[in-house]
Structure 1
């Protein structure tokens, strides 16, 4: 569970000041930004909740959860969209309220106009509707690695597949603060080789948020800006990983890595817009690609717009925001509001783009704090 919306370092990393990559050549004038502000956006249906079409309390022991980060599993033999959720609650009368750090659904729905439907969860079946401990009870898929002295959550922030291997970026929550504020111990990357059924964490991907969050850990300046992520495939073959600090108040930063090197932080490059271009290894070299306040992000290359697209909620007014750009490093368009917090009261956050959106139809999951559940939204692009 992330706080109600308001105005959510690696041991093997090479030290900063490694050789820098020279800036790339002068870019051609960018095309005008896609004018999508105010594009018609509507609620399709709830994905989670006791009264949702998926009846998630009855079928998965989930009365409330958030995020629903969707990604394609990359399996040509059994294509599915996996969805990672944050803090999850079940039956309130059960001791501990059946609380889990995170849970996971799977769906094969391509006709998103009628919502996202999830099949029953079957124990030990990695293609069933949910990873479950037992019939009717989704399991916690990503567990703590017990590095931090104080930890109150393990929350997914992004996920992507490379082939049939699944990668998930997550954050270790240190403390929940006021609305839209929280602190992290570190972020990290986990991998699943069985379609999201089980996950293991790469210790070398741990990015400390500060020098004192993990006893004996080593902090590298700049890693505090990559506590939350958004993965995106680039047209150039790189995998891009956006970053923001913990909470919903910071700007957005950008890194990239060859897809086969996701767990190796020594292979990452960081975008420096102050003339240095792509800088290897040193997260402290990254400069903001656009200013905050940026909430939970998602990103994709949109074939219809022929632009890169990011969605997030503005931590100041909690509107759902879109930005577009001709390349991942920008220049990014001004904020283009898609959903107003006045249009949909109750606290909206975490707009997560569905990977099977196509053409004019942009679908994304959106969390609603007042219900503490996830909705599928539909925007008709101009």
Structure 2
């Protein structure tokens, strides 16, 4: 009798055999101007975005500041901004976000009282030497409900580079505070839906009809990431038992059964591109390249990688990072797609650049 493990290995082999070139139509990419954020912001990681409440909403991770925020912080681990722009030919903007009286953004994913107290105890002025690492809350992707009335934001709770699990926050509107949810499925981390022992999730999120698909990509080696995929009815996504995961041949209730569907990056976006008639994954790899893969279904089989843009790296030779697609801003059913990426420009300083990726007409669109 074939065991589940053997079946999964067979499924992986079949996916590997079926993987082929992305076979994208001819395409051209051009760099637009860097994105302009509030003057106090030195740089931003991430940039996941979705259309939510009549605007494009962007999420960021680490956000170093040039000023002291009203609460004394010079660093945020999660921030956001919004934009409405129907003509990207000259770039994207203006971006609008809540700022305090010093011009600094607030913390998007709120710390609990205990987390905040601990962080304050390990930073100046309370601590000036031999301080312990503080808690970090990094956002993953966000998913907007089928009705568009709220969004779920995946995030990771990290200390000393160790992830404590995957949590989900609920957002009723970009003008309202984000609410971290309590799940109590992980005894020592009640805000985590998935534990530190499980594969992390939230690297990419995709809504198809009433179903939420979520990818999780964990670092395996130099520029190597194992990406698994899970799904749940959107209305039940906050219930741990509603989730199932692709094991290479079928959907399993056990996250431990999940197999890697592609090797990608720590930040990935996946969306259905109507112009291509396929699902499109976009991410960064070495050599300052923006990479694409395609698939007929969210679980794959995913094609081989194809370079869609050679970006502008940093002068010191450090690579670009966080290549993200923004399909809510696309034109002609995704024939014209906008990407963003980050590049370092100095110490704790970076810029985010916008790229216009244009595909040639397909046969169906001729």
Retained in 2: the 8 A contact 1:207–1:224? no
CA contact (8 A) 1:164 1:195 kept: no
| 1:72 to partner: Cα distance | 0.8
CA distance change for structure 1 residues 39 and 193 in 2, over 3 Å: closer, same or farther? same
Aligned length: 318
Q: Give the Å deviation of 1:102.
A: 1.6
Q: Per-residue deviation at 1:82?
A: 0.6
Which residue of structure 2 aligns with residue 230 of structure 1? 204
Cα-to-partner distance string for 1:173-224 (whole Å, 9 max, x where unaligned): 2234xxxxxx32222111111325311112228779xxxxx57999978964
1-side partners of 2:312 and 2:75: how far apart? 31
Q: Which residue in the other structure is 2:344 paired with?
A: 369
Paired residue for 2:297? 327
Alignment of 1:237-276 (within 5 A): 237-245=210-218, 249-273=224-248, 275=249
1:175 match: 160
1:164 aligned partner? 149
| CA-CA distance at 1:369 after TM superposition | 2.6
Give the Å deviation of 1:295: 2.8
Alpha-carbon spacing, 1:215–1:103, altered in 2? closer, same or farther (3 Å): closer
Which residue does the alignment assign to 1:358? 331
Closer, same or farther: CA 338–380 of 1 in aligned 2, 3 Å: same
Shift of 1:300: 0.6
Q: How far apart, in 2, do the equivalents of 1:202 and 1:38 lie?
A: 45
Q: 1:234-269 CA deviation, whole Å, 9 max, x = no partner?
A: 2x5411101112686421100111111222221111
Counterpart of 1:304 in structure 2 is 275
For 2:76, what is the secondary structure of its paired residue? Answer: coil
Q: Which structure 1 segments of 5+ residues have no match?
A: 1-22, 120-128, 177-182, 209-213
What is the CA-CA distance between 1:285 and the residue it aligns to? 1.2
TM-superposed CA distance for 1:291, in Å, is 2.9
- In structure 2, relative to structure 1, the CA distance for the partners of 1:317 and 1:152 (3 Å cut) is farther
Work out whether residues 57 and 81 of structure 2, in 8 Å CA contact, stay in contact via their aligned partners in 1: yes
Alignment partner of 1:260: what SS? helix
1:133-144 matches, cutoff 5 A: 133-134=100-101, 136-144=103-111
| In structure 1, C-alpha distance between the alignment counterparts of 2:229 and 2:81, rounded to whole Å | 28
SS of 1:288's equivalent in the other structure is coil
Q: Mapping of 1:95-110 within 5 angstroms?
A: 98-110=74-86
Kept in 1: contact 2:163–2:196 (CA 8 A): no
Mean Cα deviation higher: 109-118 or 149-158: 149-158
Contact 1:361 1:379 in 2 (8 A): yes
Please state if 1:44 is matched with 2:32: yes
Distance 1:217-1:230 versus aligned 2 partners, 3 A rule = closer
What's the counterpart of residue 313 of structure 1?
284
Distance 1:72 1:295 in 2: 22
Partner of 1:9: none
Corresponding residue SS for 1:203: coil
Return the TM-score normalized by structure 2. 0.75
- What is the TM-score normalised by the length of structure 1? 0.72
> CA 1:31–1:306 in structure 2 vs 1: closer, same or farther (change >3 Å)?
farther
Structure 1 or 2, whichever has the larger Rg, is 2
Distance 1:218 1:375, change over 3 A: closer
The answer to whether the Cα contact below 8 Å between 1:87 and 1:102 also exists between their aligned partners in 2 is yes
Secondary structure of the 1:226 match is coil
The answer to whether the 8 Å contact 1:156/1:171 transfers is yes
Q: Which moved more, 1:302-311 or 1:334-343?
A: 334-343
Residue deviations 1:120-139 (CA, integer Å, cap 9, x gap): xxxxxxxxx21333473321
SS in 2 for 1:338: strand
The secondary structure found in structure 2 opposite 1:138 is coil
